[in-house]
Amino acid sequence: MKPPFQHVYDLADLSAAGAEVAIRPKADERAALARWVGVDDVAAFEGRVSLRKLSQTRFSYDAELSAEVVQACVVTLDPVRSRIARHFSRTLHLGQGPAAAREPVLVSPGDDESPEEIASPRYDLAAPLIEELALEIDPYPRAAGVAFEPPGGDDEAEGSPFAVLKQLKKGP
C-alpha cells in the first residue's frame, strides 16, 4: 500500500552541521493519512526532524510529532478529538549493497534499539512520523464521560447457551 505522502531527503547532502526539516502535509495529504491510519480526520499534523551525520554511513534522526486526530467514539459514534505529541529518535545505518545487509551492525551496550538499515541515502523522513502516529492512535476512543453498558438480558433464559451448559453441568 502506497504511503499517504512522502518527504524524501538525500542524506548524502547532509553537512557536519546537520539539518532541521519541518514536515507539514497539505489538506489532501492529511485526508489520505486519515484513510491510511483508519481515523475520520487528521485535523493537524506537524513533524520537526533533526538530522545529524554520525559517520559516513550512520545518521541520527530525532523527531517531534504533533497531530490532532478525529475518530468515532466506539460507544456513541460521536466524534472524538485527540491530541498526539511524541518525541522519538532513530539511528539510521546506510548499507553498502547486498553484502552489507548480511553483515552485523555493531551496537554499543547503552543502545536500546539497533540501527535501522537503509538501502539508499534517499530517505523518506515522513515514514517514521506516520508510523509513530499510527502507533499512538487510541484503538478504542470514547467520548468524555461515556462508558460501555452491556445490553441487558437474562443469561439464564431458557434456550440460552448458558442455560444449556448449566443443564449439562448438573447432569441427567
Question: Residue 130 domain-assigned?
Answer: yes
Q: How far is CA 119 from CA 2, 49, 94, 113, 124, in A?
A: 18, 20, 6, 19, 12
pLDDT, residue 165, reads 76
Query: pLDDT (tens digit, 9 = 90+) per residue, 51-82?
Result: 999 999 999 999 999 999 999 999 899 999 99
Q: Please give the tally of structural domains in the chain.
A: 1
Does the pTM exceed 0.85? no
* Distance between CA atoms of residues 63 and 84, nearest Å: 13
- Residue ranges in the chain whose pLDDT is less than 50: 98-111
Nearest to 69 by CA among 143, 8, 133: 133
Alpha-carbon dihedral angle through residues 5, 132, 85, 114, given to the nearest 10 degrees: -130
Nine cell digits for residue 170: 448438573
Question: Residue 1 domain-assigned?
Answer: no
pLDDT, residue 117, reads 94
User: Which residue in this structure is represented by grid cell 500500500?
Assistant: 1
Cβ atoms within 10 Å of 55's Cβ, excluding its own: 8
Structural domain containing residue 12: 8-170
User: Which residue in this structure is represented by grid cell 440460552?
Assistant: 160
